[in-house]
Amino acid sequence: MGQMVNIVQNNVMRITALFLLIFIGNFVLSPVVAQDRYVLVIHGGAGTILKSQSTPEQEKRYKESLEQALHAGQLVLQKGGQALDAVEAAVRVLEDNPLFNAGKGAVFTNQGKNELDAAIMDGRSLAAGAIAGVTTIRNPISTARAVMEQSEHVMLTGLGAEQFAKEKGLELVDPSYFHTPERWRSLQRARHRDSLDNLKKSQLPLAKEEAMLIRKEKYGTVGAVALDKHGNLAAATSTGGMTNKKWGRVGDAPLIGAGTYANNLSAAISCTGWGEYFIRLVMAKSICDQMEYGGRSLQDAANEMVLKKLPALGGDGGLIAVDKEGNIAMPFCTEGMYRGYIRQDSLNGPIKKEVALFKN
Burial status of residue 354 (CB atoms within 10 A of its CB: 0-12, 13-18, 19 or more): middle
Interatomic CA distance for residues 120 and 64, integer angstroms: 24
296 contacts: CB under 8 Å, gap ≥ 6: 290, 304
Q: Which one of 221, 237, 239, 260 is the catalytic residue?
A: 221
Strand order in the sheet with 260-262: 260-262, 267-273, 317-323, 328-329
Q: Confirm if 302 and 270 have CB atoms less than 8 A apart.
A: no
Q: To the nearest 5 percent, what fractions of the chain are helix, strand and coil?
A: 45, 20, 30
Continuous segment of H or E residues that includes residue 276: helix 275-281
Q: 3-class SS at 97?
A: coil
What whole-number distance in Å separates Cα of residue 78 and Cα of residue 85? 12
Residue 221 falls in the annotated catalytic set:
yes
Residue 272 and residue 330: Cα distance in Å, rounded? Answer: 11
Q: Are 115 and 136 in contact (CB under 8 A)?
A: no
Pairwise CA distance, residues 271 & 339, whole Å: 12
Which candidate, 334, 324, 356, 349, places its Cα nearest to that of 225?
324
Nearest CA to 269 out of 71, 96, 100, 119 is that of 119
Select from 257, 215, 228 the least CA-distant residue to 107. Answer: 215
CA angle 116, 232, 32 (to 5 degrees): 150
Instruction: Name the amino acid, one letter, at 149.
Output: E
- As a whole number of angstroms, the distance between CA 316 and CA 242 comes to 14
Q: How far apart are CA 117 and CA 156, in angstroms?
A: 10
Task: Indicate which residues carry an active-site annotation.
Answer: 221
